[in-house]
């Protein structure tokens, strides 16, 4: 094999979407399962995290997936039916939608684990153990 072709063949692995996708999945697994999230200490008399726990959700989980995933996908499919792009362009469009969904979930998880602030209803969800001091900083270990 000539030197020019050998050099291109060795770099070819890095240019394949499958390799990049595998690398992204590898790092996602590393971050999700092996990295421990940051647990911020909190005070039980902090009014910013003392809101009551909502019994009814504003947006349920199925509607979350519909709004975030199905509506954009439906718009892309409608565009493809109206404009009639080639098979390659439609395929790339749907791949872009899929990559944006996965990347959004990945970046959201990283930011929430790294620097996320406590929920406004943290104390209502936590249900502190009896006798937990109210005026000192405590960790999640004081929750029931």
Please tell me which of 10-14, 71-75, 124-128, 137-141 the model is most confident about, judged by mean pLDDT: 71-75
Q: What pLDDT, on a 0 to 100 scale, did the predictor assign at position 54? A: 85
Among the listed ranges 3-17, 21-35, 43-57, which one has the minimum average pLDDT value?
Answer: 3-17
Q: pTM (2 decimals)?
A: 0.60
pLDDT in tens, 9-31: 444 544 456 777 788 778 777 77
Q: Which of 4, 1, 23, 3 is nearest to 13 (CA)?
A: 23
pLDDT in tens, 89-119: 999 999 999 999 999 988 888 888 777 788 8
Percentage of the chain beyond pLDDT 70 is: 88
Q: Which of 111, 124, 9 is nearest to 55 (CA)?
A: 124
DSSP state of 143: B
Tokens of 77: 């499919």
Which has more pLDDT, 86 or 9?
A: 86
Positive or negative CA dihedral for 70, 75, 81, 85?
Answer: negative
Average of per-residue pLDDT across 75-102:
94
Count Cβ neighbours within 10 Å for each residue of 111-135 and write b for 16 or more, e otherwise. eeeeeeebeeebbeebeeeeeeeee
Which residues are 138's β-sheet partners?
A: 42
Q: Which of 136, 73, 137, 131 is nearest to 101 (CA)?
A: 73
Q: What pLDDT, on a 0 to 100 scale, did the predictor assign at position 17? A: 66
């Amino acid at each position: 094999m000539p030197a020019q072709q050998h050099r291109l063949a060795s770099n070819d692995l890095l240019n394949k979407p499958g390799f990049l996708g595998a690398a992204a999945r590898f790092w996602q697994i590393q971050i999700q399962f092996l990295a421990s999230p940051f647990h911020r200490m909190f005070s039980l008399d902090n009014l910013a995290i003392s809101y009551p726990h909502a019994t009814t959700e504003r947006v349920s989980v199925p509607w979350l997936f519909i709004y975030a995933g199905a509506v954009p996908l439906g718009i892309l499919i409608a565009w493809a039916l109206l404009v009639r792009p080639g098979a390659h362009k439609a395929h790339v469009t749907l791949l872009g939608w899929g990559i944006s969904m996965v990347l959004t979930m990945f970046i959201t998880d990283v930011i929430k684990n790294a620097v996320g602030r406590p929920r406004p209803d943290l104390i209502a969800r936590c249900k502190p153990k009896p006798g937990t001091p109210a005026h000192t900083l405590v960790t999640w270990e004081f929750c029931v």
